[in-house]
């Protein structure tokens, strides 16, 4: 596996619609492995393939309970509402308030091209919406209420 370069806002690839995956080829497996590694390396909770320059409908998410791998994901159902700060690895150092559903049900294919249904609330629901938006060329910054603001991350403690 290898780290991929995360594209940042202004890169036209982030505004394009990604294409459905027809088969999980060795190349797609490598891409998914690289996406997970790239997301964890950047301390992100989600990453969509267009963010690494690949216009395919693939997203990875991990809000702390292990990874979800979503191929050709579709939102089937939403409920409720949550408003909170959102950020994106393609807009580093920034955050802004976005209202999203508080519950989201997603249908997606897994690595074996089997259909799966996932349900998420709160942060996971937000991540499902955010990452699926990327597959349609949408950034959360279009949805921000008020202004984007800078976020300061605490410096990581130095390791011996």
- How many other C-beta atoms can be found within 10 angstroms of the C-beta atom of residue 108? 23
Site residues for Ni ion per CB under 5 A: 88
Q: Minimum Å distance from CB 51 to Ni ion?
A: 6
CB 2 within 8 A of CB 33: no
Residue 122 annotated among the catalytic residues of the structure: no
Q: Minimum Å distance from CB 118 to Ni ion?
A: 18
Q: Is the backbone of residue 93 left (phi > 0), alpha (psi -120 to 50) or beta?
A: left
Instruction: Tell me whether residue 54 or residue 88 sits nearer to Ni ion (CB atom).
Output: 88
> Largest Cα–Cα distance in the chain?
47
Instruction: Tell me whether residue 33 or residue 92 sits nearer to Ni ion (CB atom).
Output: 92
- How many other C-beta atoms can be found within 10 angstroms of the C-beta atom of residue 126? 26
Of residues 56, 81, 59, the one with CA closest to residue 70:
59
Instruction: Tell me whether residue 25 or residue 95 sits nearer to Ni ion (CB atom).
Output: 95
Instruction: Tell me whether residue 88 or residue 124 sits nearer to Ni ion (CB atom).
Output: 88
Give the CB-nearest residue to Ni ion.
Answer: 88
Q: Minimum Å distance from CB 23 to Ni ion?
A: 26
- Distances in Å between the Cα of 134 and the Cα atoms of 48, 82, 126, 152 are 6, 19, 13, 24
131, 142, 150, 159: which one is catalytic?
A: 131
Q: Minimum Å distance from CB 74 to Ni ion?
A: 18
Mind telling me the catalytic residues?
Answer: 131
């Amino acid at each position: 596996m290898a780290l991929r370069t995360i594209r940042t806002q202004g890169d036209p690839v982030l505004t394009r619609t990604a294409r459905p995956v027809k088969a999980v080829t060795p190349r797609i497996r490598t891409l998914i492995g690289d996406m997970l590694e790239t997301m964890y390396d950047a301390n992100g909770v989600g990453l969509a393939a267009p963010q690494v320059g690949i216009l395919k409908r693939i997203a990875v998410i991990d809000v702390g309970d292990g990874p979800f791998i979503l191929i050709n994901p579709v939102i089937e159902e939403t409920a409720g509402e949550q408003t909170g700060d959102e950020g994106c690895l393609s807009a580093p150092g920034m955050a802004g308030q976005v209202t999203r559903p508080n519950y989201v049900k997603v249908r997606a294919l897994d690595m074996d091209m089997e259909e799966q249904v996932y349900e998420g609330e709160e942060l996971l629901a937000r991540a499902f919406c955010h990452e699926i938006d990327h597959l349609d060329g949408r950034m959360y910054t279009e949805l921000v209420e008020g202004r984007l603001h800078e976020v300061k991350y605490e410096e990581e403690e130095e390791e011996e």
